[in-house]
C-alpha cells in the first residue's frame, strides 16, 4: 500500500507537468514526469530531494499565481477564484512533502 501513501506526491508532480505543458516548457514537463520514478530508490536522500523539489514546486505555483493575478487585475477581471485555486494547489504540493514524515515512509526511506 505504499503507492497510496505516495499518491499525493505523484499527483503533485502530474499537476506540475500539466502546468509546464501549458507554458510549453517541455524539459520541465519531462522532468516533472520522471522525478516520481526516483521513489523506487529507497534511500533517505530521495525523500529529502522529493521534499525540496515539492517545496520548489509550491513556490512555482505561488509565482505563477502572482503573475496571473497581475494580468487579471490589469484587465479588470476578477482574480479571487484564481487565487483560491492556485493557493490550494500550492498548499497541496507542500503538504505532499509531509508524507515522508509518516512513520511508515520513514522506515521505507531509511
- Asked if residues 18 and 86 have their Cβ atoms less than 8 Å apart, the reply is no
pTM: 0.93
Q: Average pLDDT over the chain, rounded to whole?
A: 96
Is residue 82 pLDDT above 90, yes or no? yes
pLDDT in tens, 9-35: 999 999 999 999 999 999 999 999 999
What pLDDT does residue 1 have? Answer: 82
What pLDDT does residue 109 have? Answer: 93
- How buried is residue 93: exposed, middle or buried, by Cβ count under 10 Å (0-12/13-18/19+)? buried
Domain residue ranges of the chain, discontinuous segments joined by +? 2-108
> Residue 91 and residue 102: Cα distance in Å, rounded?
18
pLDDT in tens, 59-77: 999 999 999 999 999 999 9
Amino acid at each position: 500500500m505504499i503507492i497510496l501513501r505516495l499518491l499525493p506526491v505523484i499527483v503533485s508532480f502530474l499537476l506540475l507537468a500539466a502546468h509546464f505543458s501549458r507554458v510549453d516548457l517541455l524539459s520541465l514537463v519531462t522532468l516533472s514526469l520522471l522525478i516520481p520514478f526516483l521513489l523506487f530508490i529507497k534511500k533517505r536522500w530521495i525523500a529529502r530531494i522529493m521534499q525540496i523539489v515539492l517545496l520548489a514546486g509550491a513556490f512555482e505555483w505561488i509565482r505563477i499565481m502572482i503573475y496571473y493575478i497581475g494580468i487579471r487585475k490589469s484587465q479588470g477581471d476578477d482574480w479571487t477564484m484564481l487565487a483560491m485555486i492556485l493557493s490550494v494547489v500550492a498548499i497541496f504540493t507542500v503538504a505532499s512533502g509531509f508524507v515522508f514524515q509518516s512513520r511508515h515512509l520513514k522506515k521505507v526511506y531509511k
